[in-house]
């Protein structure tokens, strides 16, 4: 599942494509005042959490998280399950009991909160004058990895962080010198896939051993180029595939590519319209 925006306003839509590139279909369409900037979930048979950007006049927008049920078309706003503040992305836990969300007060600060769908209680996971985003759950739901953008903004100084979904101090997995862009857990939760100054890597979380599976030359080689901003990366739950977003520098279009965890079978599965951007991507089941 992926979210595509552009090339014009109010064109943010949520779509799905099979890992072999077939059966591209739209899950959520934009309308005259509403577009979607991100969507995450585990299965279309349950629900997804989408970021809905709504025009409030002129060039001003407000973004709210919604729980969308594809089978019925029902939508539930999630504002009452979160503290007050500007909302960003929301990602459901693997068992669909909770979701982690990005919440920011006025200004550049962005922190992570976990909310329970049933009790509607929420817990703050991170705090401070940073921007915490691009979050991903471990398969057992106990840990969350995320990208931390450090001030002063708009610098591109990032750390790869991990925090318990039950709260507690966040720890640094990879420091600022690594230039991490995004990360995702393997299906068994024992490894991470992430982009870095070296290319696309995997890391064993027990030994911290790292393996470069695609070098920068492979990622940045003509005609494709890795996007530098974190827009998400995902590791399939039932097959050895990692999906990431690459930009075709010849056409100016974002593309979805899959690769196996050993760096083999690099394959384009989807190409966006020129000038449009893919802003989120995640593997889901039917």
What residue ranges define each of the domains in the chain, with the CATH number in brackets? 2-281 (2.120.10.30)
Tens digits of residue pLDDT in 205-241: 999 999 999 998 887 776 667 654 556 799 999 889 9
Buried-exposed string 95-128: b where 16+ CB fall within 10 A, e elsewhere: ebebbbbbbbeeeebbbbbbbebeeeebeebbee
CA 209 to chain centre: 24
For the chain, the first-to-last Cα distance in angstroms comes to 10
Q: Closest Cα to residue 286, out of 242, 231, 236?
A: 236
In the predicted model, is pLDDT for residue 29 greater than 60? yes
The answer to whether 16 touches 56, Cβ cutoff 8 Å, is: no
**Which pLDDT score is estimated for 54?**
81
In this structure, what token pair is assigned to residue 40? 């995450």
**Which pLDDT score is estimated for 58?**
64
Tens digits of residue pLDDT in 96-124: 999 999 998 777 889 999 999 999 999 99
Three-class SS state of 219: helix
Which residue has better confidence, 269 or 152? 269
The answer to whether 162 touches 170, Cβ cutoff 8 Å, is: yes
Q: Closest Cα to residue 10, out of 39, 31, 38?
A: 31
- Residue 78 burial by Cβ neighbours in a 10 Å radius (0-12, 13-18, 19+): buried
Is the Cα dihedral 274, 201, 129, 66 positive or negative? positive
What is the Cα gyration radius of the chain? 18
CA 143 to chain centre: 16
Q: Kindly state the average pLDDT of the residues 172-185.
A: 92
Q: What sections of the chain are H helices per DSSP?
A: 216-220
Worst-scoring range by mean pLDDT, 63-67, 149-153, 182-186, 239-243? 149-153
**Tokens 């909302």 identify what position?**
87
- The span from the CA of 103 to the CA of 113, in Å, is 7
**Which pLDDT score is estimated for 7?**
76
Residues constituting the chain: 286
Residues 6+ apart with CB under 8 A from 149: 130, 131, 132, 133, 155, 156, 157, 158
Q: Closest Cα to residue 218, out of 255, 246, 242?
A: 246
Three-class SS state of 177: helix
């Amino acid at each position: 599942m992926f979210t595509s925006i552009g090339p014009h306003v109010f064109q943010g839509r949520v779509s799905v494509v099979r890992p072999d590139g077939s059966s591209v279909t739209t899950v959520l369409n934009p309308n005259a005042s509403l577009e979607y900037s991100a969507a995450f979930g585990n299965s279309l048979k349950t629900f997804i959490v989408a970021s809905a950007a709504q025009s409030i006049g002129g060039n001003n927008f407000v973004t709210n998280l919604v729980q969308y049920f594809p089978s019925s078309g029902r939508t539930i706003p999630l504002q009452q399950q979160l503290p007050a503040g500007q909302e960003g992305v929301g990602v459901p836990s693997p068992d669909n009991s909770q979701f982690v969300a990005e919440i920011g007060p006025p200004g550049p600060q962005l922190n992570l909160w976990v909310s329970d769908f049933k009790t509607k209680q929420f817990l703050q996971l991170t705090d401070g004058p940073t921007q915490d985003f691009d979050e991903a759950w471990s398969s057992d739901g106990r840990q969350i990895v995320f990208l931390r953008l450090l001030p002063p903004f708009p610098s591109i100084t990032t750390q790869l962080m991990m925090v318990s979904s039950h709260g507690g101090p966040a720890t640094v997995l990879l420091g600022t010198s690594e230039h991490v862009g995004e990360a995702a857990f393997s299906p068994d939760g024992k490894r991470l896939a992430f982009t870095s100054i070296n290319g696309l890597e995997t890391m064993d979380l027990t030994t911290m051993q790292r393996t470069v599976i695609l070098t920068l030359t492979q990622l940045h080689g003509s005609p494709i180029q890795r996007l530098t901003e974190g827009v998400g990366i995902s590791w399939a739950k039932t097959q050895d595939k990692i999906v990431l977003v690459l930009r075709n520098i010849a056409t100016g279009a974002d593309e979805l590519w899959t690769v196996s965890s050993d760096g083999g079978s690099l394959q384009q599965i989807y190409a966006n319209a020129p000038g449009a951007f893919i802003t989120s991507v995640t593997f889901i089941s039917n």
